[in-house]
Chain A
Amino acid sequence: MTWVLANLGLIWARTLDHVVLSLPPIVICFVIAVPLGWFARRYRVSRGIILTGAGLLYAVPSLPLIFVLPAVIGTSLLSPVNVIIALTLYGIALMVRVVADGLDSVDADVRQSASAMGYSTWSRFWQVELPLSGPVLLAGMRVVAVSTVSLVTVGAVIGVQSLGSLFTDGFQRGIQAEIIAGLVATVALALLFDGALVLAGRVLMPWTRRVAPPKPSVPLEVSAA
């Protein structure tokens, strides 16, 4: 505990590093996964290719990926961009399937009636299908957020500063308190991100909260009034 109190500044700085590394992958993977997931759902062939590809991508171990990326995209070995891109790829791998499943979950009747109302394919996607797949997308994004926050720590092994640096440093110098502090702060950050997503879901999808089963007696009286 004394170590923690003496190093609050360090923990805070690493926490900020951690946020800076984990926010971009979470946001970017969503932005990229939505059109990819839509495309995967659109045609049978593209579904097979994209979903299998995403599955394989997720199977690539993170540490080698972070090592190999600089060679592929020409960044320096120590650049935080490597970590951000690697984690974005993982996020996409997870979310593409979720987006495809989420769009599948939209009631066919609703989709059809939206078309019959005169929604174009484009407006129907943005105003009907995407919002209605919201609950599924949110569930996927919660997994992505938590796993991204935890995977950012791997970057510490190649020297990209984050809360993971507290593990590596703690191990090397034998400071147990530092390791535990890193662990606790990482978990706390993951919970914070998760909570923020849940909150955003409540604000953006008010209809999911007010789904009380219709009580037959009350509404009937109202209609009779």
Chain B
Amino acid sequence: MIEFRSVSKRFPDGTLAVQDFSLVLPSHKTTVLVGSSGSGKTTLLRMINRMVDPTSGSVEIDGEDIASLPPVKLRRGIGYVMQNSGLLPHRTVLDNVATVPLLRGTPKRQARADALAMLDTVGLDRALADRYPSQLSGGQQQRVGVARGLAVNPNILLMDEPFGAVDPIVRAELQQELVRLQKELDKTVVFVTHDIEEAFLLGDQIVILREGGRIAQVGSPADLLARPADDFVASFVGADRGRRVLHVERHGDGNVVVDSDGRLAGVLNGEPVAGTSAGSSAGSTPGAEGDR
């Protein structure tokens, strides 16, 4: 479990990146920090491995204040994946994956054998092991980045917009891969993104951030959609428009689901649930058309 206790960060140039931020990130869950640029999401992520130290407040991992831990040792126990893979250009794929185990003193032979197995885990061909990062495609580089982050089998995996720089098709593939990996490995993942779709796909707990690291709302994807705390959250998650706002229309004998732009989204399987109270459901009768 990772816990932020009223953490603030003011950079030397005077920018207040994070202000009085408190949050618990449960173990074995994926927490996604989502916000636009300037929301302090990356700063928050980097506080977990002490790449950034808070100006005030504390960060705890399993009840231990990490300010008391030496940063280098702490970082070697936490997986880290960043946007432009950050792979070492002068090391082969295999050596990149083996980087942290070697830093921790794992014998070279063992570290390389483990790294090779890790390539399988992230879905990379072993034939790529001897290539240099510049010889890989963007998607492959990110996979190597993930393999490197997982190489010491850390409890915590930090991911800073890891799929931000690859094309949409590869991104979707990598996202699915991460969902699969997380099912298998059960890590505590902290994921930073500005893409709400990505957050909904990957997150168990989603933290929507306003400027300056202030929390707009924390909750599961369903919470955020069903009960947005305010207009900011509603507009951020898109709960007020487009294909997130669906209603049911009667069509002959069946029910079809239509979004707020009037586009057909699908067909409703079975009878619409009447909801907790008859009046509050998003429109289980053709009369709901009047809402538009």
Contacts and interface: CB of A to CB of B under 8 A. Distances in A.
Q: Do A and B bind?
A: yes
Interface of A: 107, 109-110, 112-120, 123, 128, 131-132, 134, 205, 207, 210-212, 214, 216, 219-220, 222-223, 225
Q: In the complex, which of the residues A109, A114, A116, A211 has the most CB atoms of chain B within 10 Å of its own CB atom?
A: A116
A110 B137 CA distance: 17
Contacts of A223: 123-125, 128, 137, 139-140, 143
A210 B72 contact: no
B286 interface: no
Question: Chain A: interface secondary structure?
Answer: helix
Given A117-B148, A222-B125, A128 B88 contact: yes
B110 interface: no
B51 A116 contact: yes
Contacts of A214: 134-137
A40 B131 CA distance: 34
Q: Which 10 A-B pairs have the closest CB atoms?
A: A113-B86, A118-B76, A118-B75, A116-B80, A207-B90, A207-B132, A219-B137, A211-B134, A222-B125, A120-B72
A110 to B, nearest CB: 6
B262 interface: no
A100 B65 CA distance: 37
Interface residues of B, number: 39
Interface of B: 49, 51, 72-77, 80, 82-91, 99-100, 103-104, 123-125, 127-128, 131-132, 134-137, 139-140, 143, 148, 158
Given A118-B73, A207-B89, 15 more contacts: A109-B83, A112-B82, A115-B51, A116-B49, A117-B75, A118-B72, A118-B103, A123-B103, A128-B90, A131-B90, A207-B90, A210-B131, A214-B134, A223-B140, A223-B143
Contacts of B84: 109
B99 A117 contact: yes
B89 A132 contact: yes
Nearest to B133: A207
Contacts of A118: 72-77, 100, 103-104
26 contacts: A110-B89, A112-B82, A113-B86, A114-B88, A116-B51, A116-B80, A117-B148, A118-B72, A118-B73, A118-B74, A118-B104, A119-B72, A119-B103, A120-B72, A132-B90, A134-B90, A207-B90, A210-B131, A211-B135, A214-B134, A219-B135, A219-B136, A222-B127, A222-B128, A223-B140, A225-B125
B82 A116 contact: yes
A212 B135 CA distance: 6
Given A110-B86, A214-B136, A116 B128 contact: no
